Structure 1
Amino acid sequence: MKKIKTALLSYGMSGQVFHAPFLELHDGFELTGSWERSKKLIQTDYPNVKSYASLEELLADDIELVVVNTPVETHYEYAKKALLAGKHALVEKAFTTTAAEAEELNAIAKEKGLKLTVYQNRRWDSDFMTVKQVVDQNLLGDIVEAEFHFDRYNPLLSPKIHKETANAGAGVLKDLGPHIIDQALYLFGYPEAVHGDVRITRENSLVDDWFDISLYYPDKRVRLKAGFFVREAIPAYIVHGKKGTFLKQRGDIQEDVLKTGAKPNRTDWGTEAAEKEGLLHTEINGEVVRKNIPTLQGNYYALFDGVYEAIAENKTEPVTAEDGIKTMKVIDAAYASSEQKKIIQL
């Protein structure tokens, strides 16, 4: 199997938790190192890799794939430099700060024949995968409405300065928003219009920390919400169809397990506790049923499988730049809608 030499643009929580463990596990990748600005940590965990002193040094090395896992406001600049240097790129969410930036990166990648992938790992969360299975199997009939939440109870400001400083990449709409926006578009397609309400609710916050977005489709409405003052969460996924309802709480364990330092595997990885199974209440073959649905196994490894196949076998990226552009267009529209207090047509 061809090894794709891969470098990270930072080795903080994102590099340590979401990228390096999977690059190490996957037979198709070779982790060459990471750009490290102050703390030099990667060689403690991976002694045989490099710690690059600058982006220029990293891009000059013999690598094929660059993981852009730096703060959102830097994604456009760093991804552009990587593409212009002839490297494939895997870019964290939010893809960029605007749809226009995303479109420019896509154009560069197409022109140079490079693969540009958006890191939307939440498509492979166990909870969302189970919701998608229920919808795809038409267990609810025609979907009328859906509501996705990414709620937390955390009134304190983040210690990560870039997350709380007013800049083009900060705010919950560009932090948690891309997760559930991408999931909604992946499941239901691109909407006709967007209504957004974006607010600041925490004391002394300089960035948005609450949003309520409605996606308008000809036959359904999809509501997306996130906030930091939800002490008792409702189901994260609520889907109503003409035959029934499916409710699923957020339950994917992968992030929490990775944060303990545990390494992913290919067997029981991403298996939720049985008590978090979703509730299906619907009609099947003329009979009303109300039962729990076993949760599918989550696995971020599948995203890296897709990235490998895109580069090594010239297949379509698992999350395309076009997907990322659509998510950014929804985010741009949500901000415009909130400011103008009107529905924005897409």
Structure 2
Amino acid sequence: MRIGLVGFGAGGRLSHLPYIQAAAEWSLSGVVTGSAERRRVLAAEAPGIPAYSSLDDLIDAGVDAVVVSTPPQTRRELVLRALERRVHVVADKPFAPDAATGRELRDAAERADRVLTVYQNRRWDTDLLTLRSVLDSGELGDVWRAHFVLDQDDPATLEPGAANGLLRDLGAHVVDQLTCLFGPVVQVDGHLDRVGSGAERVDGSFSLGLHHANGVYSTATGSKVCRREERAMTVYGSSGSYDSRMSDVQIDLVRAGRRPASFEGEWGLEDESRWGVLSTAAGRRTVKPVPGDYSDFYRSLHRALVDGTEPPVRLDQVLHTVAVLDAARESADTGRRVAISS
């Protein structure tokens, strides 16, 4: 099937292109970018793939699906236009600035009878897949609490403005991960650390307390402005705990010039020195990671379009994440715990 990539910034270049190229089920038809420098990068990293000036030009050239990886404030218009042109759409996160916009995009996809899904690629992170395997083993017993940390020393990529902010950026990832593991959230406590002033004011750090419907309580924190690099997943249960401090394996590999399509060995496998530790009455032991591969998102999308199965990320799950983020912002603004509307 033919797929096009709209936007070729850091997200398009590092998080989409290598994984589309590694998924043999897809043929990359072209990339939309108006930047001369990015067109030079595209020519080097994907020789022979044409660059287009607009979404319509790309669709006119012939695609079955497009990936919209442009700045958040441009995403709604592009998603709606692609659906109007009757192609399937992968939207980058944040999917929408609020739940109302998210529902608008969902309704547009239903009217067009096309698949709209969201690139929640961190469902295919090595640390998350490994944690899921630990939970599936039952060795933790009844799960009580979880704590996720996603700190990046990267203030330059924090985009100012009301449509941006870290809550919608990294927050969308960690909330999606936690709800995938522990189910829907019914109440939220939120705190935001804001930087800048006026129209430039934006949240650069967040701290969330999520009350899941099944009784699990999870917390998630993240920052891009505190000059700290940390990834952590800790889960407490009635029979023990699991603690993970893995790195951002796949992004690190791509930044180092490696590509999943040509990589020798298991892609996304963490170094043994950073394997997670499971602690139970039987003692402490490291857990061999489950390798992660973002290409699996695109393989799953292809199966969904061919076989009519569920897309890799369902819109009802994404809309729930947006509702949690809306509630977190309301909680931060009011100082009160906020319930999630059913």
CA contact (8 A) 1:90 1:119 kept: yes
Q: Aligned-pair distance for 1:252?
A: 3.7
- Asked if 1:102 is matched to 2:99, the reply is no
Distance in 2, Cα, partners of 1:186 & 1:202: 33
In structure 2, the partner of 1:8 is: 5
Q: Which runs of 4+ in 1 moved over 3 A?
A: 201-205, 230-233
In structure 1, the partner of 2:29 is: 32
- Asked if 1:21 is matched to 2:18, the reply is yes
Q: Aligned-pair distance for 1:17?
A: 1.6
- Asked if 1:310 is matched to 2:304, the reply is yes
Q: How many residues align?
A: 332
In structure 1, the partner of 2:258 is: 262
Unaligned stretches of 5+ residues in structure 2: none
- Asked if 1:340 is matched to 2:297, the reply is no
Cα 1:251/1:322, change in 2 over 3 Å? same
Distance in 2, Cα, partners of 1:144 & 1:281: 15
Distance in 2, Cα, partners of 1:72 & 1:322: 20
TM-score (norm 2): 0.92
Q: Secondary structure at the match of 2:236?
A: strand
- The 5-angstrom pairing of residues 147-162 of structure 1 reads 147-154=147-154, 157-158=155-156, 160=157
Q: Secondary structure at the match of 1:269?
A: coil
In structure 2, the partner of 1:143 is: 143
Distance in 2, Cα, partners of 1:57 & 1:325: 30
In structure 2, the partner of 1:88 is: 88
Distance in 2, Cα, partners of 1:332 & 1:250: 29
Distance in 1, Cα, partners of 2:183 & 2:124: 17
In structure 2, the partner of 1:214 is: 209
Distance in 2, Cα, partners of 1:225 & 1:56: 39
AA aligned to 1:206 is R
Distance in 1, Cα, partners of 2:18 & 2:152: 26
CA deviations on 1:6-63 (whole Å, 9 max, x unpaired) are 1111122222222222222222111111111222232333232221112222233311
Distance in 2, Cα, partners of 1:5 & 1:17: 20
In structure 2, the partner of 1:166 is: 161
Superposed CA RMSD: 1.9
Q: Which moved more, 1:46-55 or 1:299-308?
A: 46-55
Q: Aligned-pair distance for 1:103?
A: 1.4
Cα 1:230/1:187, change in 2 over 3 Å? farther
